[in-house]
Amino acid sequence: MIKTKRLSIRRVRADDWEAIQSIWKDAAKSIYAQYDKPNDLDDQSVSRRISKWASFTDGDEHIFLAVCLQDVVIGYVALNKRESGYEIGYCFHSNYHGKGYARESISSILDIMKDKGAVNIIAGTALNNIPSVRLLTSLGFRQTGTEKVSFYKDDKGNDITFEGGNYELLLRE
């Protein structure tokens, strides 16, 4: 468990599925949803996926963290092992955007990952997702490249692409 000034951060539990489902349903309505992989939002699919996340509680290969304001899960952070570091992903319910919760929680998580010996953290986000780009850069991430990304197809079956940014934070030189 990680405690910050306003938040508690803990491993995701199987019973967090409804809170995470709410976060995903909220995110699916965002203008930024077009830049992210779609999630199956039905109860069974979400419950199964979050149970799998919760099964990783003992290791550090895959780390799924619930970000809580008091006892309410307001977001999550996922870290997946990559070579000398981790790839990070995150999502917060829009009711909690613009209040510094993502920055506060991720900053604390990055400190823990450095203590665990991670050398770097990588992230990807759409360049048009300005709030995510701002968050990453405010945390010290540097853009290392771009790539064309597609998660959706148009009505003719053609890929709908967008420019994705690749970011990296060096925790150790």
Question: Domain coordinates of the chain in residue numbers?
Answer: 2-170
Give domain 2-170's CATH architecture.
3-Layer(aba) Sandwich (3.40)
- Cβ proximity of 102 and 75 under 8 Å: yes
Rounded Cα distance, 104 and 122, in Å: 18
Count CA atoms within 13 Å of residue 21 on its CB side. Answer: 17
138 and 103 Cβ atoms separated by less than 8 Å: yes
- pLDDT (tens digit per residue) in 9-57: 999 999 999 999 999 999 999 888 777 777 899 999 999 999 999 999 8
* pLDDT tens-digit readout, 99-150: 999 999 999 999 999 999 999 999 999 999 999 999 999 999 999 999 988 7
DSSP 41: -
Residues contacting residue 11 through CB under 8 Å, at least 6 positions apart: 54, 56, 57, 63, 64, 65, 66
CA 150 to chain centre: 18
Model confidence pLDDT, tens digit, residues 78-98: 999 998 899 999 999 999 999
What is the distance between the alpha carbons of residues 160 and 162, in angstroms, rounded to a whole number? Answer: 7
Backbone φ, ψ for residue 29 (5° rounding): -90, -10
